Structure formats: C-alpha cells, structure tokens
Amino acid sequence: MSKTRIEAGNIREIKQGTMKRVSTPEQAILVCNVDGQFYAIDDLCTHEDFSLSYGCIKGDLVQCSLHGARFNVKTGQPVVEPAEIPLQTYPVTIENEKIFVEV
C-alpha cells in the first residue's frame, strides 16, 4: 500500500500545547504540538472509538474526554486505562512552515 502525504496546516496555526484534527476520506489524524515539535497519531481512542480532538493535551499526553484514557503522542502508547491498545503514529515533516503527515 502506498503512502499518502497530507498537509495538516501551518506551524503557526497549531500553537505549542494544542492539537488539530485533520481528516482524509479514510481516517482522522490528530496533529499535536509538544514543545515546538509536531507529532501525528490516530484521532480515535482505541478504547471506545471516540475522537481525541475533544480531549485535552498536557505535556506529551492527550486525554480522551469520554473515559479519561491517556496516550503518549510521541509513541502512541496508552499510559492511563481504560485504553490498552496503542494508537498508530505517523511521520511528520515541516517544509516552508507547512506541516505534512505521511499516512
């Protein structure tokens, strides 16, 4: 399966400590700015298929607002139950202040 590169916005748009949901016809990706570094993960919580974009980000953890599961945005690993399955992570590149995610 070939990779697709999607534009997720401008680096000025996603401020430090915030996140943005980006959708393709096949999936939704969450782009997070942690200390000026950008990370991309699946947007759906692996516990209940609920959008993580409704949650909050603190440090490098994103919290699902439905049941409180937390995931490390750098690794996709769940760090607080009830989630036990990791999120998929995606490579992020920056070109001319634009954020690109390879899905």
pLDDT tens per residue across span 9-22 = 999 999 999 999 99
pLDDT tens per residue across span 27-72 = 999 999 999 999 999 999 999 999 999 999 999 999 999 999 999 9
The pTM is what?
Answer: 0.94
Q: How far is CA 29 from the centre of its chain?
A: 6
Which DSSP category does 88 fall into?
A: P
Which is nearest to 42 in space by CA: 83, 11, 10, 2? 83
3-state secondary structure at position 53 = helix
CATH classification for the domain delimited by 5-102, as one of 3.20.20.70, 2.102.10.10, 2.30.130.60, 2.60.40.420: 2.102.10.10
Which is nearest to 56 in space by CA: 69, 47, 65, 43? 65
